[in-house]
Structure 1
Amino acid sequence: MIQGSIVALVTPMKEDGAVDKDSLKKLVEFHIEQGTDSLVAVGTTGESATLDEEEHCDVIKAVVDFVAGRIPVIAGTGANSTTEAIELTARAKEVGADACLLVTPYYNKPTQEGLYLHFKAVAEAVDIPQILYNVPGRTACDMLPETIGRLARIGNIVGVKEATGDLQRVKQIRELTGDDFALYTGDDATSREFCLLGGNGSITVTGNVAPKLVHEMISAAINGDREIAEAIDKKLAALHKTLFIQSNPIPVKWAVAEMGLMAKGIRLPLTWLTEDCYDAVRDAMRQAGAI
């Protein structure tokens, strides 16, 4: 089971929007050095919505190659078309990803049965560990704990990223799935409590900026060390908030650029962080020791 601080990696871009492989390699080395437990390539934070299919698969391959087996790589391969999700997942397996993260189909609002059949179809088509991803705030689709429980019976569906921020779901999902099913939070602000309640890790945005602290905080929470986890999380609290001051990944890409790890590149319809937000994000970065 992949556990701990799993960073939803930004996709570095040049100012013209081209993917910057040199900076991507630099980021991978930075995270391994800082203790990040695993990386997600081309998730929401990695701008999956603005990369075309070839770029999407190319970035996954590049991350796998740069990591070179040192930590697990999870590939973002979700789509609102089942056939597209199957294709992306198959290609991620081909390039050596350790697992795939599949968001619930967005915009088309499938029923719970539709969600079950969608994820079942992908799991049956591609033999690779698969992690469900529930983020109704972005997809307008909430996968209920009962549906997750049904899907957990499929052998290669191994976990869920639950990004509702609803801590009551930790116990609900655990009771419906069992101890061998991984529960990850996708909500940085509640990640400490999620892991103290029995979660296995955080698929984190904040970890892009303060990877060492997030790793230490999540490790402490998984181990039940509340006092240590709370003390570390206090340093991260402002960052958890300000990295969502505008739509993700706008603030986090600005922060990573501010750290000198990549250029000021983002793709439309996303825009660069507006100047009125700079001080708030900088202050939060200072509190976390990122600058």
Structure 2
Amino acid sequence: MSKKKTAPTPVYRGVFPVAPTIFDDHGDIDLEGQRRCIDFMIDAGSDGICILANFSEQFALTDDERNALISTVLDHVAGRIPVIVTTTHFSSRICAQRSRNAQDAGAAMVMIMPPYHGATIRVGERGIQEFFQTVSDAIDIPIMIQDAPVSGTTLSSTLLVKMAQEIANVSYFKIEVPQAANKLREIIALGGDAIVGPWDGEEAITLMADLDAGATGAMTGGGYPDGIRRILDAYVAGDTELAAQHYQQWLPLINYENRQGGLASCKALMKEGGIIKSDSVRHPLAAMHPATREGLIKIARRLDPLVLRWGK
């Protein structure tokens, strides 16, 4: 029996960047640095924040570290902005429990990839729908399905729409696959009101096309929410030409993060700006090459983002 869908309130829109997980030079969690990171991201204009995503190195954290980060961040945010918690896990049961724990801690939403493990272990569409149904039954907050190549799972537009229409809390979609704009356009056309939050992802590399397709949110890296806000604010106000101008201005930095620095970019910018003491990523990830870091900072300085000034 399909469940009647109603839109969750409030509806979340805008810039919801991913917060990096802050480590010290020894690779241990730096909770004070994490708090400073969050404060900067709020001051830089984030409409909300996502924690424990792939750009947060969630795959390199223990369960105890995840729990410490959830409690630390949500306690520190203290309702200032909504927080999305990534609760991805292969097991339906464990993902449901993670999601319930996130809700109990104060999360506004959970973000989840379809179940996968390694290069070959996948489940079919029936199993995927049952997985998200299990999670939805355990919580009362929205679920954002992360449609990303890293899962190695093809999520057809018809399956996404079917889940939005039939599973009570599935209503947001972060689309990161190739031709994301086409997929956003298709799920919006097919799903109507069941698609509450069609969102852009992948560091805003396809942001303008995705906004043109109907995206209402952007989940980017956490280094320059102020820059992404300029683009979105202009677009939402109806000045698409100004939005395009802002996008062209910030695109070199967006591109450098997406193609060169990756998940280390945000922390390199935060360290340069005195927000955090260490920009370490957790081994076996490699530290950013000094030449790559130099190129990143050089491009950023031309834009004068808050990240390079906040901690000084």
TM-score by length of 1: 0.93
Counterpart check, 1:248 vs 2:258? no
CA distance in 2, matches of 1:56, 1:196: 36
User: Is 2:239 the counterpart of 1:228?
Assistant: no
Whether the 8 Å CA contact 2:100–2:139 is kept in 1: the answer is: yes
CA–CA distance in 2 between the matches of 1:109 and 1:245? 28
Q: Which residue of 1 aligns with 2:191?
A: 177
Residue of structure 1 in register with 2:299 after alignment:
284
Gaps of 5+ in 1: none
Provide TM-score, normalisation by structure 2: 0.87
Change (3 A) 1:106 1:247: farther
SS at match of 2:29: coil
1:31 equivalent to 2:41? Answer: yes
SS at match of 2:17: strand
Between Structure 1 and Structure 2, how many residues are aligned? 288
Q: Secondary structure at the match of 1:209?
A: coil
* Comparing 44-53 and 120-129, the one that deviates more: 120-129
**What does the per-residue CA deviation read over 1:174-217, in whole Å, with 9 as the maximum and x for residues that have no partner?**
01221452101112111122123211110111xx2211111121
Determine if contact 2:95/2:135 at 8 Å carries over to the other structure.
yes
- 2:67 corresponds to which of 57, 76, 79: 57
Q: Does the Cα contact within 8 Å between 1:8 and 1:46 map onto a contact in 2? A: yes
Q: Which residue of 1 aligns with 2:76?
A: 66
Query: Larger Rg: 1 or 2?
Result: 2
Pairwise mapping of residues 1-291 of structure 1 onto structure 2 (< 5 A)?
1-107=11-117, 108-136=121-149, 138-153=150-165, 154-166=167-179, 167-179=181-193, 181-187=196-202, 188-205=204-221, 208-246=222-260, 248-262=262-276, 263-290=278-305, 291=308
Q: Give SS of 2:205's match.
A: helix
Answer with 36-45 or 124-133: which moved more: 124-133
Q: Distance in 2 between matches of 1:233 and 1:36?
A: 17
After TM superposition, give the deviation of residue 165 of structure 1 in Å. Answer: 4.2
Amino acid at match of 2:135: V
Q: Residue 147 of structure 2 contacts residue 176 of structure 2 at CA under 8 Å; is this kept in 1? A: yes
Question: Do the aligned partners of residues 103 and 247 (structure 1) sit closer, same or farther apart at CA in structure 2, a change above 3 Å counting?
Answer: farther
> Alpha-carbon deviation of 1:246?
4.6
Farther-moved stretch of structure 1 (175-184 vs 243-252): 243-252
Distance, in Å, in 2 between the alignment partners of 1:204 and 1:23 is 20
Change (3 A) 1:82 1:288: farther
The alignment partner of 2:84 has SS state of strand
Asked if 2 retains the 8 angstrom alpha-carbon contact of 1:239 and 1:281, the reply is yes
1:214–1:165 distance in 2 versus 1, CA, 3 Å = farther
- Mean Cα displacement is larger for which, 30-39 or 273-282? 273-282
SS in 2 for 1:8: coil
Counting aligned pairs with the same residue, the percent is 23
Distance 2:261 2:102 in 1: 27
Q: Verify the 8 A CA contact 1:104 1:135 in the aligned structure 2.
A: no
Deviations 1:46-98 (A, max 9, x none): 11101111211221221111111111000011112222211211110121111
Q: Write the deviation string for residues 92-128 of structure 1: whole angstroms up to 9, x where unpaired.
A: 0121111111112233222222221211111112222
Judge which range, 37-46 or 280-289, deviates more. Answer: 280-289
Counterpart of 2:210, as a letter, is F
Which amino acid in 1 is paired with 2:243?
A: A
